[in-house]
Amino acid sequence: MRLADYLDKGASLGRDAPCLTMGERSFSYDDVARLSGRVAEALRCSGVRPGDKVAILSGNDPIAFSCVFGISRAGAVWCPVNPRNEAAENRELLDLFDCRCLIYQGSYQALVDKIRPELPKLKTVVCLDGPGADALEFDQWLTAAEIELVEEPVDDVALLVGTGGTTGKPKGVMLTGRNIETMSALTLMGYPFEGRPVYLALAPLTHAAGVLCFPIMALGGQVVIMPKPDLAEFLRLVRQHGVTHTFLPPTLIYMLLEHADLVDADLSSLQCFWYGAAPMSPARLEEAIGRIGPVFAQLFGQSEAPMMISMLPPKEHFASDGSIAVQRLSSAGRPGPLVTVAIMADDGRLLPAGERGEVVVRSSLVMAGYYKNPTATAEASKFGWHHTGDIGYLDEENYLYIVDRAKDMIITGGFNVYSVEVEQALLEHPDIQDCGVIGLPDDKWGERVVAVVQPHAGRTVVPDEVIAFVKSRIGSVKAPKEIVTRPDLPRSKVGKILKNDMKAELLAR
C-alpha cells in the first residue's frame, strides 16, 4: 500500500462520499482523488521524479493534505514540516532532506522568506492560497491532467519525518509504505470500528493526527479537519458530524475536562478516543472515562515506529468485573499483534518480566533507517532490535510500563524537547555559567521543562527574562516553564552534571 492507495481504497467504496471536511466546505473522495492527480502531474512537470523529496509547510488544511496523495502518486517522498519549529530548524531539516519542492500556506510567508535563500536544492516553491513572494500560485501551477497511475516509490520510502537527537541535531526518519501499512493494520485490528468512521482531526496533521487518517480512509471514512485547537468547537463538531474517532494529547484532554461546555455535550457517537504522545495522569484518565465514557484508547509509538508499538484499547481499561483497571491505566498497553517488544540490558541481554531496561522492538512497523546517517541507524538497531531510548518494563501479563527516557528527552504537551538543545540556548545568556535541564511531572503538560541554572559570580538571574530569552531562540514549546537558581550544580567526579540528583531534590520539594 502506497499513501495514495488509502485514498483510492476509500474511493472504491463510494467516490461521492465525504472525504475531507473543514467548516462548510467538504471534498468528496472523487474531489480529492482528482486534485491529487493534478498535483502529481504538476510535480512531474516541475521536474520532480520518483524518490525526490517534497515538503509541505501548512496548518491543518484539506487542500494541503490532498497534496500528500499527489506526492505519493508521483512516487515522491512527503516531508511534513512542523510550522511551530523555529526557522533555523526547518531550514536545517529541508536541507538535510534534499527537498526539491516546497508547498506552503501564505500565512508562513515570513518563515519561507527566512529559509529559502539558504536552500539551493529547492527548485520549486508553491504557495497554496495566493501569490507568494517569488513563488508559483497553486491554481496556476496545477495542470489540467489527472494522473491515476501511482508511481512506485524508490526503496518504498513514503515519507521523511524530522526528529531530534541527544545533540539536538535533527535526523530524518525514513518511513516506508510497509511501515504505514503495518501501522494501519494494527490500528484496524486493535481498536473498535463499526460502520463508516468519522475522524475528527484537531491535533496537527504533520504529527499523529495525520497518519491516523490512512486507516480511516481505507474504510471510506470521513476526516473532519479543525484548522486550530478550539475545544468548544471540538465538542460541537463531534455532535454535528457524529464523530466516531478522534485523537488528543493528554494536555488537551485535561483542558477538555475543565471546559464548561463538556457538561451538556453529546459525545454518544464516539467509539474510540485515542490519547498518547505524552504521559497521562491515571487519575485524570479515570476522570475522563467517568465523564466522557468507556471509549478511551491509548497508543504508544515514536517517529521511528509510528503510533502502534503498544496499544491499550477501550476494553482493556477495565477489569473482568467491569471496574476500571486502575493499575493498568499507568501502562502503555500491550505490544501490538504485529510487534515484538522486549526489555534489554546495556549488554544486549533480554530481561525477564519486572526488570527495567531499554524498550526494544522488532516489527515491520520499524523505520528503514535515518536518512544519510548510517551511524545513527546502526546505533538504533544494535543487537538486531530497534532501540526506542525509553526505559521501561513488562509485567507478568505483558503490559508495558515506561518509567524514564534514556536520552533525557522531555515530552511536554505532546512535543519532544531535547534537554541539550535547551541547555545550549540557556548557556548563551550572559548571566548563566552552567545549567541542567530536566522534565518534571505536570498536570497540564504531562511534563514541564525545568532549568536549574548556576549564575556567573556576582550576577543575578531573573527567571522571566531568561525564559523570554530562550523563547526567542528556540520557541515557546522548548523554553523552560520554570527556572531554579543554585550557587552550584551537583556533579560527578569527572564534572558531569547529575540530573537525577537535581530531579530527586526538586521532586522532594
Domains of the chain and CATH, by start: 3-291 (3.40.50.12780), 409-508 (3.30.300.30)
pLDDT digits (tens, 9 = 90+) for 129-150: 988 888 999 999 998 889 888 9
Beta bridge partners of 417: 410
Higher pLDDT, 414 or 66: 66
Is residue 387 predicted with pLDDT exceeding 50? yes
pLDDT digits (tens, 9 = 90+) for 291-336: 999 999 999 999 999 999 999 999 999 999 999 999 999 899 999 9
Q: Cα separation of 128 and 424, whole Å?
A: 36
Is residue 191 predicted with pLDDT exceeding 70? yes
pLDDT digits (tens, 9 = 90+) for 335-378: 999 999 999 999 999 999 999 899 999 999 999 999 999 999 99
- Exposed e or buried b for every residue in 236-246, given b needs 16+ CB within 10 A? ebbeebebbbb
Higher pLDDT, 205 or 66: 66
DSSP 73: H
Cα-only R_g, the chain: 23
Instruction: Count Cα neighbours of 113 within 13 Å in the Cβ-side half-sphere.
Output: 7
pLDDT digits (tens, 9 = 90+) for 465-481: 999 999 998 998 899 99
Among 35-39, 57-61, 74-78, 491-495, the least confident range? 491-495
Between CA 220 and CA 207, with CA 3 as vertex, the angle to 5 degrees is: 90
pLDDT at position 168 = 58
From start to end of 105-139, where are the E strands?
124-127, 136-137
DSSP codes of every residue in 456-486: PTT----HHHHHHHHHHHH-TTTS-SEEEE-
Which residues are CB-neighbours of 464 under 8 A, at least 6 positions away? none
pTM score > 0.95 for this model?
no
DSSP 497: B
Higher pLDDT, 162 or 223: 223
Q: Cα separation of 168 and 227, whole Å?
A: 29
CB atoms within 10 A of CB 352: 10
Q: Cα separation of 97 and 121, whole Å?
A: 10
| Cβ atoms of residues 186 and 339 within 8 Å | yes
Which residues are CB-neighbours of 112 under 8 A, at least 6 positions away? 57, 102, 104, 125, 132, 133, 135
195 backbone φψ class: left, alpha, beta (φ>0; ψ -120 to 50): left
CA distances from 183 to 119, 211, 243, 283 (A): 33, 9, 22, 29
Q: Cα separation of 422 and 122, whole Å?
A: 29
Q: What is the rounded average pLDDT for all residues in the chain?
A: 92
Q: Cα separation of 29 and 223, whole Å?
A: 11
Confidence of residue 496 (pLDDT cuts 50, 70, 90): low
pLDDT digits (tens, 9 = 90+) for 441-457: 998 889 999 999 989 88
The average pLDDT across 95-121 equals: 95
Confidence of residue 169 (pLDDT cuts 50, 70, 90): confident
